[in-house]
Amino acid sequence: MRFGSASDRSAGLNFVGEEEMKRKKLAMYVSDTSREQEVKQEIENFLSALNSYPDRFAREPRLSFQEHLFDVEMASQQANGGRRRHAGH
């Protein structure tokens, strides 16, 4: 008993392959978009820390810029619903 010709089966496989490729392309796009948002947030955090560090350093002279940046990143993370970044800390 046969369930279709070889050309019918290969056409079905081709369609499945095309659907898989579409899903992979969409996943890559979502991943790229997500990473772009993370990078933008990292830049905003850095610029915010750069701007606010002198005032904080005046109050806490032993505070390093790195510690201050980490605090700014944590505050940003909490403000954004606690989402965790993949890069950085």
Q: Tell which wins on pLDDT, 5 or 54.
A: 54
Residues with Cβ within 8 Å of residue 77, at least 6 apart in sequence: 83, 84, 85
pLDDT digits 0-9 by tens, 31-48? 888 899 999 999 999 999
- Determine if the pTM surpasses 0.85: no
Q: What proportion of the chain, given as a percentage, has pLDDT over 70?
A: 74
Q: What is the residue extent of each domain of the chain? A: 6-79
67 has a pLDDT exceeding 50: yes
d(C-alpha 17, C-alpha 81), whole Å: 38
Tell whether the model's pLDDT for residue 8 goes beyond 60. Answer: no
Q: What is the pLDDT of residue 6?
A: 55
